[in-house]
Amino acid sequence: MQVTTVDLTALGRAAKEASRALAVATTAEKNAALHAIADAIERHADTILAANAEDVAAGRANGLTEALLDRLLLTPKRLQALADDARKVADLPDPVGREYDQRTLDNGIRLKRRTVPLGVVGVIYEARPNVTVDIATLCLKAGNAALLRGGSETLRSNIALARALSEALASVGLPEACVQLIASTDRALVRELLRLDAYVDMLIPRGGAGLHRLCKEESTIPVITGGIGICHLFVDASADLDRAVPVIVNAKVQRPSVCNALDTLLVHEAVAPDFLPRVASALAEHGVAFRADDIAHALLVDTAGLDLTPAGPDDFDQEWLGLTLSLRVLDGLDAAIAQVHAHSTQHSDGILTETPAHAARFLNEIDSAAVYVNASTRFTDGGQFGLGAEVAVSTQKLHARGPMGLDALTTFKWIAEGDYHVRS
């Protein structure tokens, strides 16, 4: 892994060259590199933790919130988990080299598709230094060179991790440029990276809405946008209300800071008078505050112990990322579908119902990466979906949608073998 401060074009060129070596590396060679990375992280744990302590101290001096400092923090346990994860990536099936759609054309040409690495993957991320190792190891397994731009607040940690990765790659004879860190806090480099399409095949932003918008606006490299979830659950008139309460509580409070947490609860007017006070009381026990439309507000205003505010015009377009929930009462499935179409970011949306026809309509008509019947939205996750790993969660529609596993870090080529065939 190379650490540098300057010439992005040179980094891009080196990444492209390294990607050619990686593309023909065997599964065993790639797995050896992953084990070497795990070993190097363990071997250099003290150095990495010392660098991280400096980042945390500087972050505290700069007034970072406790939440952000926690994301930044590496503990011995967290570092060990990173090493363990690298070994787990080695255990995953190699996504490269799978051949499919084999056929012999009428003229005798043998045609097939083969999965191959994308080439060079650029990743722009914030705060968490574990992303450096996560992404580097997943890219490596899929045969891609990685060009990483981490947040300035984790620069010391990332440089220390980068040195360990660099040593590991060299030890197994792979080019160090397989993983390169853009080790500079110069923000202009981000815009420069976004236009490095001559060398970078895919760009993954991992951060907030602003970063995703910047990449969408400025990047000449294909971008996987995602990670922003305005998630809905609709409680239909036929839902099992007793069982609906814990699902909604789970979707909202199990981990409120993440993209698949619930943002807006929609309730059928037929059950709202009974159900809303019950679910609101259950949520209030976990500290949830409410932004309620007129009907929901009227139904809840007499319930004790609620933090209840009339919903403002923008409250149904919020990814709350915290213990706030928007509430709306609707007159049926059509209105619920229209509400989701108008306000969802197409991440994760669900219906709670005992009416199969309503479940089917919701699944058919809601165009989100993950659509749910009678389950919490919190399941949208590579691990939960059994993908073995998660690169990112895509909310766009090209190439990858929803949780992205190793497969999403590959493309394919068409292979045609003939006997001196000509087209007539």
Nearest to 391 by CA among 173, 131, 188: 131
Backbone angles phi, psi at 301, to 5 degrees: -65, -25
Quick check: 335 binds a second copy (CB under 8 A)? no
Tell me, rounded to whole angstroms, the distance of Cα 183 from its chain centroid.
23
- 350 three-state secondary structure: strand
Chosen residue from 85, 237, 402, 406 binding a second copy by CB under 8 A:
402
Total binding residues for a second copy by CB under 8 A? Answer: 69
Q: Cβ of residue 260: shortest distance to a second copy, in angstroms?
A: 9
Q: How far is the CB of 348 from a second copy (least distance, A)?
A: 9
Give the long-range contacts of residues 51-57, CB within 8 A, separation 24 or more: 51/156, 51/157, 51/159, 51/160, 52/129, 52/154, 52/156, 52/157, 52/160, 54/156, 55/129, 55/153, 55/154, 55/155, 55/156, 55/157
In sequence order, what are the residues at sequence separation of 6 or more whose Cβ sits closer than 8 angstroms to the Cβ of residue 56?
69, 72, 73
The distance of closest approach from Cβ of residue 170 to a second copy in the complex, given in angstroms and rounded to an integer, is: 23
Cα distance between residue 422 and residue 419, in whole Å:
9
**Binding to a second copy, residues 97-126 (CB under 8 A):** 103, 105, 109, 111, 116, 118-119
Q: Which of 208, 273, 310, 418 binds a second copy (CB under 8 A)?
A: 418
214 part of the interface to a second copy, by CB under 8 A: no
For 65, the 3-state DSSP assignment is coil
Using CA atoms, how far apart are residues 293 and 313, in angstroms rounded to an integer? 10
Residues numbered 5 to 24 that lie near a second copy (CB under 8 A) are: 20, 23-24
Instruction: Return the sign of the alpha-carbon dihedral for residues 384, 388, 394, 397.
Output: negative
Q: Does 384 bind a second copy (CB under 8 A)?
A: yes
Tracing tokens 């503990």 back to the chain, one arrives at 75
- Is residue 386 involved in binding a second copy (CB under 8 A)? yes
Ramachandran sector of residue 5 (left: φ over 0; alpha: ψ -120 to 50; beta: rest): alpha
Nearer to a second copy, 168 or 202 (CB): 202
220 binds a second copy (CB under 8 A): yes
Ranges assigned E (strand) in 19-127 = 99-104, 110-117, 120-125
DSSP assigned state of 322: S
**Contact between 318 and a second copy per CB under 8 A:** no
Residues in contact with a second copy, shown as a per-residue x/- string from 143 to 182 under the rule CB under 8 A: ----------------------------------------
Nearest distance, CB of residue 413 and a second copy, angstroms: 6
Question: What is the nearest approach in angstroms of a second copy to the Cβ of residue 422?
Answer: 4
Site membership for a second copy, residue 40 (CB under 8 A): no
What is the rounded CA–CA span in Å between residue 351 and residue 234? 5
- Minimum distance from CB of 395 to a second copy (Å)? 11
Q: Closer to a second copy at the Cβ: 66 or 217?
A: 217
- What does the per-residue mask of binding to a second copy show for 343-382, with x meaning CB under 8 A? ---------x------x---xxx-xxxxxxxxxx-xxx--
Which positions touch a second copy (CB under 8 A)?
Answer: 20, 23-24, 103, 105, 109, 111, 116, 118-119, 197, 201-202, 216-217, 220, 222-224, 240, 243-244, 246-247, 249-250, 254, 341, 352, 359, 363-365, 367-376, 378-380, 384-386, 396-399, 401-403, 411-423
